[in-house]
Structure 1
Amino acid sequence: MAENSSVLITGASAGIGAVYADRFARRGHNLILVARDTARLNTLAEKLHTQYGILAEVLPADLTSPVEVATVARRLREDARIGVLVNNAGMSLSGTFLTQSEADINRMVAVNLSAVLTLAHAAAVGFAAKGLGSIINLSSVVGLAPELGMSVYGATKAFVLYLSQGLDLELSPQGVYVQAVLPAATRTEIWERSGVDINTVTGVMDAGDMVDAALVGYDRRESVTIPSLHPEELWAHHEQARQAMLAEFRHEHPASRYLKNNGD
């Protein structure tokens, strides 16, 4: 990553996105801050410029809108100064699959999945052409845990994890690094917006601690970073088991457990 590269951050007005903005500004990077709330973006941009002397540009966009996502994607394609994309914007919903409305589900999919995919593609094409660049995609541990009961939210985050791992394998030979960050419960406004009282949840990590840990993984060029996972070997075992299955997928006959007995 070029020392003077700019960083484009979605969902930058608060929470995890605002912390990423602060940390990259502290490292001397100019910023392009993307979110819906122009006033909050302007306040953050002015603060970071005053504190760190960097340039912080505001790019207001509602990532539920394909037109506005396309505007951000165009900026990623056309601005050669951008060397890092932080795909952070996301939303969650209260309730269950049966109680959530189709309209709300589609809005969440638009932000958590479609926008992430569109912006990652826009960044990747330019980064690969230069042979340099980084994409940080915010997934979630919920994408590994259907037991948590957040079916659609978890599915979008599982998509982001798979996409990130696949892109890291595909793009790393071309000089592009892709990191999936999987926070667990983190103290941000997403809880209030989804109707959950954060004070009823245990084991909630501070957003600053989460981002600082994620950036350690970033500096180490980890493909997957899970800040709250203490026994690192558990993820290693997960990956070993997954990879061990790969060779077993190539059989022309079904596994014996799926064969009917002669008497059936």
Structure 2
Amino acid sequence: MSDKPAILITGASSGIGATYADRFARRGHDLVLVARDAERLAALADRLRAETGVVVDVLRADLTAEAGLVQVESRLREDRRIGVLVNNAGVAGHGGFLDQDPAAAAALVALNVTAPTRLASAVAPRFVQSGTGTIVNIGSVVGLAPEFGMAVYGATKAFVLFLSQGLQQELGPKGIYIQAVLPAATRTEIWKRSGRDVNALQGVMEVGELVDAALAGFDRRESVTIPPLPDAGQWSAFEAARIAMVPNFAQSRAAERYRASA
């Protein structure tokens, strides 16, 4: 058993989650892997145990179901070895807003919004009590770009970014590190599941490169990591413009441009 904090990763059976598991195992961290596909989880766990010698626990859970969420919440509250939560599980939408089935949209919100919120809420009090801990939330650049035309999916990822930044403001001073990772198109199974051909997309990043970049940001303790963004100054300028607006929001009168002229 490692003396390093254990890592709980959701959506760990493939893609970004499985790659995070591989990278953290090679750093010497024990793992708790969460996903619905027990067979694939078991195969990944067996490989990582054999290759790295770390302890790997498998937790089969459907995070869109109450029972699954409660199961993972309990593990996060009770297992004091876990010092890092990687909220990776997610799903993408298919088609425009008018094409989406309401039930599918609700399931998307449940997995992309409700699950990471509840899991962060389960582990945060324990992290604060100990004065240390990390929550990594996997968002998307789509949450910054309504022009991409993925309204519900983009809205869930905008939520993930805001949640991460809000938690960093609240929990950062208590010793907790929060990282939001914003990938662009990445070669994972999420595209096939949403009915899209990843080979028809431009600028698709390989999953290993994405996770390695995210971990570079993790090591630097970045609050927001955007692996495909070439110019970090653009994000800094974006944030500076947003922060400059904040003091102007507290006004007792509507802005002059909205008041009818006398």
Q: TM-score, normalized by length of structure 1?
A: 0.97
Q: 1:256 and 2:224 equivalent?
A: no
Where 2:177 maps in the other structure, the secondary structure is strand
Corresponding residue SS for 1:98: helix
Alignment correspondent of 2:91? 91
Letter in 1 for 2:124: A
Distance in 2 (alpha carbons) for counterparts of 1:92 and 1:185: 11
Matches within 5 A, 1:171-250: 171-250=171-250
Number of the residue aligned with 1:34: 34
Q: Which amino acid aligns with 2:119?
A: L
The residue aligned with 2:132 is 132
**Runs of at least 5 residues in structure 1 that lack an aligned partner in the other structure:** none
| 1:190-242 C-alpha deviation (Å, 9 max, x unpaired) | 00000010111010000100000000100110000000001110000000000
Q: Which runs of 4+ in 1 moved over 3 A?
A: none
Q: Which residue of 2 aligns with 1:54?
A: 54
Comparing 40-49 and 87-96, the one that deviates more:
87-96
Aligned residue type for 2:145: A
User: What is the letter of the counterpart of residue 68 of structure 2?
Assistant: E
Partners of 1:93 and 1:100 in 2: CA distance: 8
How far residue 3 of structure 1 moved from its aligned partner, in angstroms, is 5.0
Give the C-alpha shift of residue 175 in structure 1. 1.1
1:168 aligns with 2:186: no
Per-residue Cα deviation, 1:160-211 (whole angstroms, up to 9, x for no partner): 1000011011111111100000000100000000001011101000010000
**What is the number of equivalent residue pairs in this alignment?**
261
Query: Shift in Å at residue 18 of structure 1?
Result: 0.3
Distance 1:175 1:255 in 2: 39
| SS, match of residue 32 in structure 2 | strand
Q: What whole-Å deviation, never above 9, does each CA across 1:3-54 have from its counterpart, x for those lacking one?
A: 5211000000000000000000000000000000000000000000000000
> Equivalents in 1 of 2:60, 2:153: separation in Å?
24
**In structure 1, distance between residues paired with 2:66 and 2:115:** 8
SS, match of residue 98 in structure 2? coil
Q: Deviations over 1:126-150 (max 9, x none)?
A: 1111111100000100000011000
Question: What is the CA–CA distance in structure 2 between the aligned matches of 1:22 and 1:123, rounded to whole Å?
Answer: 23
- What corresponds to 1:111 in structure 2? 111
What RMSD over aligned residues (CA atoms) do the two structures have, in Å? 0.9
Match of 1:78 in 2: 78
Give structure 2 stretches of 5+ with no counterpart: none
